[in-house]
Chains A and B, each alone.
Chain A
């Protein structure tokens, strides 16, 4: 499904701020895999997601999706295959446009835009139906500006938008990190519901080790720009947070000492 071969990325190469963000990552995902990704700050988790999404070009290596080499495709060209939810709830939606307009643009992800009407009547009914499934009462507010919604509502909406046209790969980049615990739990619940419904191939970066263990069928730990631990199936099911911490110390020779990860 998704295959990364020796993907490298260095930011600010040759300067004092040089940051080797990815140092030759190899990764293969099968169709229907739900991978959770954890790691300390600067481990390369977000960079990995951004490389797959094409936000920045990669320095070396190849990224293949469903047999197609997408390494050199622009972000907007790759968008037809990818659904994305970002850490910042503001990033996934256009604040001064209506809920229906946001959904309509997501519905047309990857399709050429024409001079046809931006939101049709039939669509609105469909969106109301889908919004109802979120259980946030948004189905009656189709013409409300997205800027009026809370962070959690916006994130749930972004999640719906990302999956409105079924993506080949769903990228969730710490999409609950900016939410309060209760809202985060709700968005995660929706995530599991939507991913399960369509059996989506998913990559989810999280700083919450419990979530990382509980969700998905595979877990990846990153450190200093590469994957240091990759576990799936039965073995993953029996993991504990303690195991993960121990594993990290073992492989990296340091501690996965990140307050944010330990506290959450």
Chain B
């Protein structure tokens, strides 16, 4: 059990990089980008093929990042230049990537059993256990990415990207080409997703054509879990950007912990996707239901008060 939980934490951190990518499109750009399922697997496939081909494992991870960026740019082009609705543009890229990924690997999975990875390198260097190494590498990468995102979204270009998600008409009126900001956000987002796919590939020592299936739902689940946890913190400022980014990664860890626990309790692994979907659906439903409940209660109270005054 302890081992399973430890492994869940390390997995959660590595997937957390993908969650940061999903965060950019879903929270900042206000787009549910379905490219993610494809670009995550793409990152894994590219990384695996590069490692098997003898490339340095770090270079392979970088390759996964670049591949993810390209996938995001394709969705961006479809959405901005050809004005295809974002959801559909993402689905098109995702579907296309399935075939691309098969072409890249030439088969449906690529094992890396005999190859060195960044995890095995760090493991050899420190002599730590696999899970500890995965955690250290994951935390290091996550911290670097969170800092980079914090910086980027504070810059002029980053601010313009955030504003695009908030009020597109206004951003255009202020002289920003929103096609460019959307392209930047989608490219960056899927770059992180690809990077995460590469990391997962090296940590689990194989890439599989189906490894990205449902990634978007995991991403959304992690974001909503992180958001709730962040709000529960007494000292948290609701909009402190660094905290919100960190909570996305924490949400990912919690998601994988929940998963490990329910799997240990004997749930079929194939039912996990249903559980993820239910978590996301509930997270989206609860605020709506809560608000309606509050409205009804306020109305009932008001009528009671009026009744008493008469």
Chains A and B come from one and the same complex? yes
Q: Which residues of A contact B (CB under 8 A)?
A: 53, 74-77, 79-80, 82, 84, 86, 90-97, 101, 104-106, 108-111, 113-119, 145, 161
Q: Which residue of chain A is the closest to B176 with respect to CB atoms?
A: A76
Among all A-B residue pairs, the 7 with the closest Cβ atoms: A79-B175, A94-B166, A118-B159, A113-B156, A110-B175, A94-B167, A94-B163
Within 131-185 of B, Cβ neighbours of A (below 8 Å) are at 152, 154-160, 162-163, 166-167, 169-178
- B170, A108: Cβ atoms closer than 8 Å: no
The minimal Cβ–Cβ distance linking A133 to chain B, given in whole angstroms, is 21
The minimal Cβ–Cβ distance linking B60 to chain A, given in whole angstroms, is 28
- A114, B171: Cβ atoms closer than 8 Å: no
Q: Which residue of chain A is the closest to B155 with respect to CB atoms?
A: A115
Q: Which residue of chain B is the closest to A115 with respect to CB atoms?
A: B155
Could you name 27 residue pairs across A and B whose Cβ atoms are closer than 8 Å? Answer: A76-B172, A76-B175, A76-B176, A79-B172, A79-B173, A79-B174, A79-B175, A79-B176, A80-B175, A86-B169, A91-B170, A92-B170, A93-B167, A94-B162, A94-B170, A95-B167, A96-B166, A105-B171, A109-B175, A110-B175, A111-B175, A113-B156, A114-B155, A115-B155, A116-B155, A117-B155, A118-B156
Evaluate whether A118 and B172 lie within 8 angstroms (CB atoms) in the complex, with A74-B177, A105-B163 already known: no
Question: Which chain B residues border A94 with CB–CB below 8 Å?
Answer: 162-163, 166-167, 170-171
Which of B159, B171, B173, B239 has the most C-beta atoms of chain A within 10 angstroms of its own C-beta?
A: B173
> How far apart are the CA atoms of A90 and B175 in the complex, in Å?
18
Evaluate whether A106 and B174 lie within 8 angstroms (CB atoms) in the complex, with A95-B166, A95-B167, A97-B166 already known: yes
Within 193-242 of B, Cβ neighbours of A (below 8 Å) are at 239
Interface size class of B (residues with CB under 8 A): 20 to 34
In the complex, besides A106-B174, A113-B176, A114-B157, 5 extra interface pairs with C-beta distance below 8 angstroms are A76-B172, A79-B173, A92-B170, A105-B159, A105-B160
Q: Which listed residue (A74, A106, A118) contacts B154, Cβ 8 A?
A: A118
Q: Is the interface of A mostly helix, strand, loop or mixed?
A: loop
Q: Which residues of B contact A (CB under 8 A)?
A: 152, 154-160, 162-163, 166-167, 169-178, 239
Question: Which chain A residues border B175 with CB–CB below 8 Å?
Answer: 76-77, 79-80, 108-111
- B239, A145: Cβ atoms closer than 8 Å: yes
- B156, A108: Cβ atoms closer than 8 Å: yes
Question: Which chain A residues border B154 with CB–CB below 8 Å?
Answer: 117-118
- B167, A116: Cβ atoms closer than 8 Å: no
- B177, A76: Cβ atoms closer than 8 Å: yes
The minimal Cβ–Cβ distance linking B267 to chain A, given in whole angstroms, is 38
> How far apart are the CA atoms of A97 and B178 in the complex, in Å?
17
> How far apart are the CA atoms of A76 and B170 in the complex, in Å?
10
- A118, B177: Cβ atoms closer than 8 Å: no
The minimal Cβ–Cβ distance linking A55 to chain B, given in whole angstroms, is 8
> How far apart are the CA atoms of A79 and B162 in the complex, in Å?
19
Evaluate whether A105 and B174 lie within 8 angstroms (CB atoms) in the complex, with A95-B166, A96-B166, A97-B163 already known: yes
Question: Which chain B residues border A80 with CB–CB below 8 Å?
Answer: 175
Question: Which chain A residues border B239 with CB–CB below 8 Å?
Answer: 96, 145
> How far apart are the CA atoms of A246 and B232 in the complex, in Å?
65
Question: Which chain B residues border A53 with CB–CB below 8 Å?
Answer: 173
